[in-house]
Structure 1
Amino acid sequence: MLDDLDRTILTALACDARVSWKDLADEAGVSSPTIRDRVRRLQDTGVILGFAVKVSPAALGYSLEAIVRFKPFPGKQHILEQQIQSTDRIVQCDKVTGEDGFVARVLLRDIGELDPLLETFGRMATTNTSIVKSCPVRMRPPAF
């Protein structure tokens, strides 16, 4: 069960995981040791799983993002999953119910990279691809 202090900490860390204990303590109205202890408790109980760096795909030259839905051929789901996991251009993938077995986000430098990437999956699955125009909601933490 989270209390108001936990929620304040999580909200602040979700905005800037590098915020100092002092700044976080000032915002929450408690001492720095209290903040440190609470963050450790949130980590120990599995509420905070880790801290990450947000990297700009565009700054690395990836100008396109695509959503690829994979429908595995009979008996190919396991090797398809392995191929998805080993493809570095796939930055996120969910195993889903329904006709599609997997839904993935793919980063591309240009549209010319799409067909060669999809061809590597041709013996394992059919694909259906959509180009992302914008992302009104990026992955965000759940409400707390």
Structure 2
Amino acid sequence: MYKLRLKNATLDETDMRIVSALAENARIAHAELARMVGLSAPSVAERIRRMEDAGVLRGYTIDLDPAAIGLAITAWLRIRPLPGKLQKVAEILAETPEFVECDRVTGDDCFVAKAHVRTVQDLEVLIDRLIVHATTNTSVVQSSPFDRRLPPLVPIR
């Protein structure tokens, strides 16, 4: 059994195979998933429900290509709020739909945020919203060597 840090739930080998299969195709039918892992469909459904209840599976989503809908530029912004502006910067990031990911981090910067925009001018507008309240360092993504993936499903010692 594998112990999960946050929810005190356990994953066995079958659960990990279910999670991996769902990561590949979240729309897979329970019957097909059951065949893949050697269980009945009701057993698979119960395991999925248990993992949802434990917070292991937090949702199901689509994989959208931003460039295919005209958002040709992806950028990562490292953001350091000016003194007293941390909450204001967090609000701007949360309210700006072009920012699709944001983490509060340790180190010199407080936030690392990912944005998708149509043009360099649109990126400039995003930066201008922030520079009244923070300093920024922006990196434009040239390419991604691999797609987003699951963290390793390994024993926690």
TM-score, normalised by the number of residues in structure 2: 0.87
Query: What is the aligned partner in structure 2 of residue 94 from structure 1?
Result: 103
Pairwise CA distance, 1:132: 0.5
Matched, 1:71 2:101: no
TM-score, normalised by the number of residues in structure 1: 0.94
Pairing partner for 2:59 from 42, 46, 50? 50
Matched, 1:8 2:17: yes
Matched, 1:120 2:109: no
**Aligned mates of 1:13, 1:130 — CA distance in 2:** 32
Pairwise CA distance, 1:11: 0.8
Query: What is the aligned partner in structure 2 of residue 139 from structure 1?
Result: 148
Structure 1 residue runs of 4 or more that deviate by more than 4 Å after TM superposition: none
Gaps of 5+ in 1: none
Query: What is the aligned partner in structure 1 of residue 50 from structure 2?
Result: 41
Query: SS state of the match for residue 121, structure 1?
Result: helix
Task: Letter of the 2:21 partner, please give it.
Answer: A
Gaps of 5+ in 2: 1-9
Query: What is the aligned partner in structure 1 of residue 29 from structure 2?
Result: 20
**Aligned mates of 1:99, 1:4 — CA distance in 2:** 40
Query: What is the aligned partner in structure 2 of residue 30 from structure 1?
Result: 39
